[in-house]
Amino acid sequence: NAGVMQNPRHLVRRRGQEARLRCSPMKGHSHVYWYRQLPEEGLKFMVYLQKENIIDESGMPKERFSAEFPKEGPSILRIQQVVRGDSAAYFCASSPLETGYTGELFFGEGSRLTVL
């Protein structure tokens, strides 16, 4: 499967625990984006990463949230000390690095976090 892979698809955490969401981009893609979708809402940009670099994290909450995209392995979105308001679907998208890239995103199927 050459698509964007996210895991886990579903994650249940109790308040105060940590959530780790993983994303492997499409083969040949070097850019990763994380978006959050709250119930009944559209997607909201969180963070944009390239390998070993955070390019734009303007959509990330200031506390408890962090993201990385190491040289080897998947991108990880980490949420510490989760609260009920973190319950959402978290989507990863990837894109290629190529001249003339016009912004279309290739999405994974999402990780749905439920905080009890």
Partner 1 sequence: AQSVTQPDIHITVSEGASLELRCNYSYGATPYLFWYVQSPGQGLQLLLKYFSGDTLVQGIKGFEAEFKRSQSSFNLRKPSVHWSDAAEYFCAVGAGTNAGKSTFGDGTTLTVKP
Dist. CA 72–CA 69, nearest whole Å? 8
11 DSSP β-pair partners: 113
Site string for partner 1, 30-69 (x = CB under 8 A): -x-x-x----xxxxxx--x------xx-------------
Q: How is residue 104 annotated by DSSP?
A: -
Q: Which residue has the tokens 């996210």?
A: 6
Residue with Cβ nearer partner 1 (19 or 93): 93
Residue with Cβ nearer partner 1 (13 or 90): 90
57 DSSP β-pair partners: none
**Which residues would be at the binding site for partner 1 (CB under 8 A)?**
4, 31, 33, 35, 40-45, 48, 55-56, 91, 93, 95, 101-110
